[in-house]
Amino acid sequence: MRPAAGAPPPIGIFDSGVGGLTVLRALVEALPAEDFVYLGDTARLPYGTKSASTVRRYAVNAARHLVGREISLLVVACNTASSYALEAVREACPVPVVGVVEPGVRAVLATGARRVGVIGTEGTIRSEAYQRELERRNGGLGVRAAACPLFVPLAEEGWGDHPVTDTVAAHYLGPLLEWGVEAIVLGCTHYPLLVPSLERVVGPGVRLVDSASAVAAAVQADHGALLTGRGCGQVVVELTDGSEHFRNVARAILGRDPEHLELVDVNHG
Ligand code: DGL
């Protein structure tokens, strides 16, 4: 859907699926006078199991598509794409690009934890983007990372509070808990959807940190001049593969229906 003539440029956001909606929710809450266009690259989900070069190609195509929608800035609400493709997306885009890794690292450092766990997709963990950024900002921390490949399908299925997710989480997080982890950064935007199960498994002594509100704060702090103040929190959702399921999950996360939802072709090469 093209914005009406004279409408303020929206903030563009993309993820492979529903996960980035957790970031969108934080943005809508923090910036109620902006409009948003969210691209879910559902035809290519998951990104987390793909190679770096494939993720870069998908991410650049998604970003170019959103740039064509005349956005004011772009939020890469996908850790896998932020880990592998942020530079490539920046090179391909004439607008500022905000990733999720740096804000996530800032948020976990703010907890003061000395033993930090990083969980994410296979791609994000293999890229070592979090481990490098944590080391760069505070070389004295203990850092351990764990890939949790079954978490994305569980989140897409809506099993955030489910005994199966508890079992899978106990398997993935057990080694971090035995090590004495104090805070775990949720290095995948799908994982906040699993927090009820994850909290049960880690217990009250371990902080679970997600980057959504830190991303919203980074947009306000670093790109305040691009905010229009003329929007009304309108959310347009575009998907590369359609499903009623996405609409239901979006409604549950945002607490309302998006104003508009449509299928698009982002012309992947
Ligand atoms: N939500 C995406 C992330 O933050 C990944 C999901 C996927 O594997 O596509 O990494």
Say how many C-beta atoms besides its own lie within 10 A of residue 155's C-beta: 23
- 70-106 pLDDT tens trace: 999 999 999 999 999 999 999 999 999 999 999 999 9
Copy the structure tokens of residue 255.
């607490």
Which of 178, 191, 62, 177 has its CA nearest to residue 130? 191
- 106-122 pLDDT tens trace: 999 999 999 999 999 99
Candidate of 190, 194, 253 to mutate for ligand 1, largest count of ligand atoms within 8 Å of Cβ = 190
- Strands (E) in the chain, as ranges, are 11-15, 36-40, 74-76, 97-98, 115-120, 142-147, 183-187, 207-209, 235-239, 260-263
User: According to the model, what pLDDT value does residue 3 have?
Assistant: 61
What is this structure's pTM?
0.94
User: According to the model, what pLDDT value does residue 87 have?
Assistant: 97
Does residue 227 or residue 6 have the better pLDDT? 227
Candidate of 188, 194, 241, 249 to mutate for ligand 1, largest count of ligand atoms within 8 Å of Cβ = 188
User: According to the model, what pLDDT value does residue 268 have?
Assistant: 52
One-character DSSP codes across 148-186: -TTHHHHHHTT-SS-HHHHHHHHHHHHHHHHHT--EEEE
Say how many C-beta atoms besides its own lie within 10 A of residue 140's C-beta: 6
Say how many C-beta atoms besides its own lie within 10 A of residue 122's C-beta: 15
What average pLDDT does the structure give for the chain?
94
Q: Scanning the structure block, which residue is given the tokens 């505070």?
A: 138
- 147-199 pLDDT tens trace: 999 999 999 888 999 999 999 999 999 999 999 999 999 999 999 999 999 99
Copy the structure tokens of residue 193.
């959807």
Cα of 234 from ligand 1 centre, angstroms: 24
- In which band, very low, low, confident or very high, does the pLDDT at 269 lie, cut at 50, 70 and 90? very low
- In which band, very low, low, confident or very high, does the pLDDT at 4 lie, cut at 50, 70 and 90? low
Evaluate: CB of 19 within 6 angstroms of ligand 1. yes
